[in-house]
Amino acid sequence: MRDAYIVSSVRTPGCRRNKGAFKDTRPEELLSFILNAAVEKVPGLDKKEIADVMIGCAFPEAEQGLNIGRVASQIAGFPETVSGATINRFCASGLEAIAQSAMRIMAGWSDIAMGGGVESMTFVPMGGNLPRPDPDYSRQHPDLYVSMGITAENVARRYEVSREDQDEFAYNSQMKAAEALKSKSYTEIVPTPAVKFKRNADGAYRKETFLQDFDDGIRPTTTLEGLTKLNPVFSIGGTVTAGNSSQTTDGAAATVLMSEEKVKQLGVSPIAKLKYYTTVGCKADEMGVGPRYAIPKLLKMAGLEVSDIGLWEINEAFAAQALYCIRELGIDKYMDRVNVYGGAIALGHPLGCTGAKLCAQLVNRMRERGVKYGVESMCIGGGMGAAALFELCE
């Protein structure tokens, strides 16, 4: 089986739902821009050589519906011959899209493919515009449709993750992100055009565009004391708050993958290889434990141990679930390798984009630090986990 090489992996900033810089920017605009940006990072790459554009989206409807993988690539000016598709595995959608593109290359079906993700939680809310759970099944199994916040409360209670530890974890995420923002360490971000509407004197609105170049959910002024004062938002007497949960966010990310033959033909310097990818199911009412099972499965496939992994991107859907997984797997011995520039609590969790966003963050950190192996992992709504192993190219 052939190797799949990542030659470009970039993202837009992540911006707060309804309040952030992208609140008036449609998801197709975010995605089409970052698709072009990813291609432009690869010298000599012609769009017509790309076989397919696979895009993850957790709620592919309304403005991000109608097969946004195809629509956005056409808006981006890709030739009609370049196909596109949209895939949904909730929080792992972006990673799934990259993995499926990699598998096409590994199988010899394509030489160049793209994977990515997009989510505008401003335009399409969490849960979608018209959720319709199966009425018969949900009577017996309401856990499949339960609020993600309740699943985090379940994890915290069942596995004894204290409020104090959750708040400390959240504080550290914000501080790492604040330092990275200050030092301009997010090299995977491409300054992205954003839209805003201003009202004229006659009452009409005009459309204006500006460049957004940072994650606007980072809160450098966060304090532990402030976090401890926040009330739980999902359960009376609970421990999960807005401060120790991921932010709902708008954003997009894209990755270009190639076969070794194409890398050599174009004279491209690849960043990393996607070596292994896996998913696993778990109880829906504690979906946050997904990485606890996906990561060991991944490492067994690769013949590696936790100690072999130089960098981790473990999605911080909630501090409770991230902490539980990190502790249970013994990754807490290597916290200096985990989410080194902050995680979703500070940077946001744009659902279907997150898997692609974490890929961009991880492989660029690996290159900067010369780390051989990196793993990204996340829990998934409905009771699943996903994990992928990347190997740095020398």
The one-digit pLDDT tens for each residue of the chain (394 residues) are 899 999 999 999 999 999 999 999 999 999 999 999 999 999 999 999 999 999 999 999 999 999 999 999 999 999 999 999 999 999 999 999 999 999 999 999 999 999 999 999 999 999 999 999 999 999 999 999 999 999 999 999 999 999 999 999 999 999 999 999 999 999 999 999 999 998 888 888 899 999 999 999 999 999 999 999 999 999 999 999 999 999 999 999 999 999 999 999 999 999 999 999 999 999 999 999 999 999 999 999 999 999 999 999 999 999 999 999 999 999 999 999 999 999 999 999 999 999 999 999 999 999 999 999 999 999 999 999 999 999 999 8
Residues in CB range of 8: below 8 A, 6 or more apart: 38, 39, 41, 42, 254, 255, 256, 271
Query: Is 120 in contact with 63 (CB distance < 8 Å)?
Result: yes
Centre a 10 Å sphere on the Cβ of residue 79 and count the other Cβ atoms it contains. 12
Residue 203 confidence (pLDDT): 84
Given 15, 91, 282, 393, the catalytic residue: 91
Given 15, 282, 349, 393, the catalytic residue: 349
Q: Which amino acid, one-letter code, is at 392?
A: L
Tell me if residue 379 is catalytic: yes
Residues 75, 84, 247, 326, CA torsion sign: negative
Phi, psi of 191 (to 5 degrees): -50, 125
Vertex 204: Cα angle to 198 and 210 (nearest 5): 25
Residue 59 confidence (pLDDT): 98
Phi, psi of 281 (to 5 degrees): -100, 155
Query: Is 339 in contact with 376 (CB distance < 8 Å)?
Result: no
Residue whose structure tokens are 């890709």: 78
Residue 226 confidence (pLDDT): 98
Given 57, 282, 353, 379, the catalytic residue: 379
Residue 378 confidence (pLDDT): 98
Tell me if residue 349 is catalytic: yes
